[in-house]
Structure 1
Amino acid sequence: MKRKSIGVLVMSYGTPESLEGVEAYYTHIRRGNPPSAEQLEDLTNRYRSIVGGVFPLRENTNRQVAALQHTLDELAGEDSFVCYQGLKHAFPYIEDGIAAMAAAGITKAIGIVLTPQYSVMSVGGYMKRAQEEAAKHGIAFKSVQEYHLHPELIEALSERVKEGLHKFDKQGADTLVLFSAHSLPAKILEMNDPYSDQLLATSAAIANLAGVKKWQFTWQSAGQTGQPWLGPDILETLEQISEEGITSVLVTPVGFVSDHLEVLYDIDIEAHEYASERGIRLERIRMLNDDPQYMAALADSVLIVHRELE
């Protein structure tokens, strides 16, 4: 007999539902400060540049939540889990997901963020919002802290690296695998934040399993805040490796798990054009999206935390 349902809040950054929603979305990111006309035009044009605009990005997250629900249904045994979506900068917001749980009578819940590596400034922020909202509704809430070395995650990514290297001559023997992730303000280094170390650990584990010898790590998609962000940026790295004579690169965005703007624009358009201008062939691995192995990593992480809640 199934026990009372446990809520699972699946959290991610969020994206607007249409081009008309970009301004409200950008304003939320900027903590209520509307973007300038130039900033709004730049972001809107980036969405226009990717195939399908914003719509595939929202659908990616919806499919991930549905796939995690299906995987938990298969693995949970006598327990019953119900997945809810909670976004940082778009509806349904994190608070909306918690409110929906409360309305359904859920009293225990687990949070997981669609980012494998922990930082107090990213994953930690999601968790804080969810924890505070859950407390208002009397929901016992616990989050998955990170899953950056989960075997299913590493295997899924290593298979994509091997697949990607086969696009090149000599099966990528001369290709540099360039791991990347979203930059954060450099002040996290003063906070002993684990983000950088976890990203390097993920990258090293993938390279080891895929048998990759030539690899390095770089940052991308830094915000324009007037303060230093972690670097070097991917464009700076491409400049450097072009000077070293490297002519083929496989970008592996280990800090991202789906096709979204930072992948489809920042890598596939901006970095690709920059590399091409320097005589570098740049390819990218397939993103995880709702890959069964990735779903297994998420579900297993949820089940581990659930046992701790018992």
Structure 2
Amino acid sequence: MPPSPVGVLVMAYGSPPSMDDEAIYAYLRHILQFYRRTDPDPEAVAHLKERYRAIGGSPLYGITERLAAGLQQALERASPGRFRVYWAMKHSPPFIEDVVPRMARDGLDRAIGVALAPFRSRLSTDGYYRVVQEANQGLTNPMAWTFADDWHLHPLFLALWQSRIEDARRGLPETALVVFTNHSLPERVRRWGDPYPTQFEATARVLAERCRLPHWTIAYQSAGGGSEPWLGPDLIEVLRAYREGGGTHVLAAPIGFLMDHLEVLYDIDVEAQAEARSMGLHLVRTPMPNDDPRLIDLLADVVTRKAVRQ
């Protein structure tokens, strides 16, 4: 009897599955319960709904589904019948904790988890993997799980972003500033020795060298609430300082993200863009990888290499 396929679970952060008030509330409540053990107030729900309305709703579901389908096809071409790909969300349906038991019911006994985030952190990628492990421990016959190795300096990841940056720079003056952005996390991750900021900085540095950028910097964006400090500098502060110094053109390269979703489509394209216009600054953004074949090939390579060592 041939061995059962190796399961592959690709995981994204999540988004409301609809613009209904109930869906927005459930999504935000799941996030706040996960991190703070609290419920959202009506003002927070209304604010989140307004942000999603401004971008016409999130395309995250469709992108994630296409990415998983593309990954299945790429793995099947290389190793017919060896892998079976699933996808799940951390904070919205289909939840990770629901998909893991489904994989077991489908007869899988081995699986590889891949969080769709390029930089590792206890508060980011490791959080996805903890949910997987907790769901797995609740099974009658737990599966053998392993998780993706770091891929922030993978040649395909670098090539993917290099092409996007170089294409976007063609319409800008040589003096334009390239700002590499990443989702902010609480500042305490530095005290932990968390790899998140160093991986982000290393990737930005390598891309700046490969693209031969004369002017570049890094910034964090989309910081959460609460009273504790978050990683910086903040994107808006970087834009303001650059404009005050006489700068006129900026290219945002959100290398901490893979797909179009709220943090890109609203926080950069709406919020940061409005700030830039108010300063007289010309701001453009690189397209996101989304389901680009090079991202699919990268993930297939990460999965295949991990399966060899499993």
Fold shared by both chains (TM-score > 0.5)? yes
Report SS of the residue matched to 1:213.
coil
Structure 1's unaligned 5+ residue stretches are none
1:240-272 Cα distance to aligned partner (Å, 9 max, x none): 111111110000001000000000000000001
Report SS of the residue matched to 1:30.
helix
Asked if structure 1 preserves the Cα contact closer than 8 Å seen for 2:112 and 2:303, the reply is yes
TM-score by length of 1: 0.94
Instruction: Name which of 46, 51, 54 aligns with 2:51.
Output: 46
Shift of 1:97: 1.6
Shift of 1:3: 4.2
Structure 2's unaligned 5+ residue stretches are none
Aligned to 2:160: 156
Instruction: Name which of 129, 132, 135 aligns with 2:131.
Output: 129
Aligned to 1:33: 38
1:237-276 residue pairs with structure 2 within 5 A? 237-276=238-277
- Once the two structures are overlaid, the 10-residue window that deviates more, 60-69 or 127-136, is 127-136
Shift of 1:132: 2.6
Report SS of the residue matched to 1:282.
strand
Aligned to 1:23: 25
Identity %: 39
1:203-223 Cα distance to aligned partner (Å, 9 max, x none): 112222222221100000000
Aligned to 2:148: 144
Q: Distance in 1 between matches of 2:41 and 2:153?
A: 40
Asked if structure 1 preserves the Cα contact closer than 8 Å seen for 2:115 and 2:128, the reply is yes
Q: Distance in 1 between matches of 2:15 and 2:309?
A: 32
Aligned to 2:235: 234
1:1-40 Cα distance to aligned partner (Å, 9 max, x none): 9742110010110111111111110011110633112111
1:90 aligns with 2:92: yes
Asked if structure 2 preserves the Cα contact closer than 8 Å seen for 1:3 and 1:78, the reply is no
Shift of 1:79: 5.3
Aligned to 1:178: 179
RMSD, aligned CA: 1.4
1:64 aligns with 2:40: no
Asked if structure 1 preserves the Cα contact closer than 8 Å seen for 2:149 and 2:306, the reply is no
Q: Distance in 2 between matches of 1:130 and 1:64?
A: 20
Report SS of the residue matched to 1:203.
helix
1:195 aligns with 2:182: no
Instruction: Name which of 84, 96, 105 aligns with 1:103.
Output: 105
Report SS of the residue matched to 2:283.
strand
